[in-house]
Chains A and B, each alone.
Chain A
Amino acid sequence: GAVVSQHPSWVICKSGTSVKIECRSLDFQATTMFWYRQFPKQSLMLMATSNEGSKATYEQGVEKDKFLINHASLTLSTLTVTSAHPEDSSFYICSAPPGTANYGYTFGSGTRLTVV
Chain B
Amino acid sequence: AQSVSQHNHHVILSEAASLELGCNYSYGGTVNLFWYVQYPGQHLQLLLKYFSGDPLVKGIKGFEAEFIKSKFSFNLRKPSVQWSDTAEYFCAVTRDSSYKLIFGSGTRLLVRP
Contacts and interface: CB of A to CB of B under 8 A. Distances in A.
Contact of A44 (B46, B99, B103, B108): B103
A43 B101 CA distance: 12
B106 A42 contact: yes
B46 A43 contact: no
A95 B39 CA distance: 17
Interface size class of B (residues with CB under 8 A): 10 to 19
Interface residues of A, number: 20
Interface in B65-113: 90, 99-106, 108
Contact of B46 (A34, A36, A105, A109): A105
Given A42-B106, A44-B90, A97 B46 contact: no
13 contacts: A34-B99, A41-B108, A42-B105, A43-B104, A43-B106, A45-B103, A46-B100, A46-B102, A49-B100, A93-B44, A103-B32, A103-B49, A110-B43
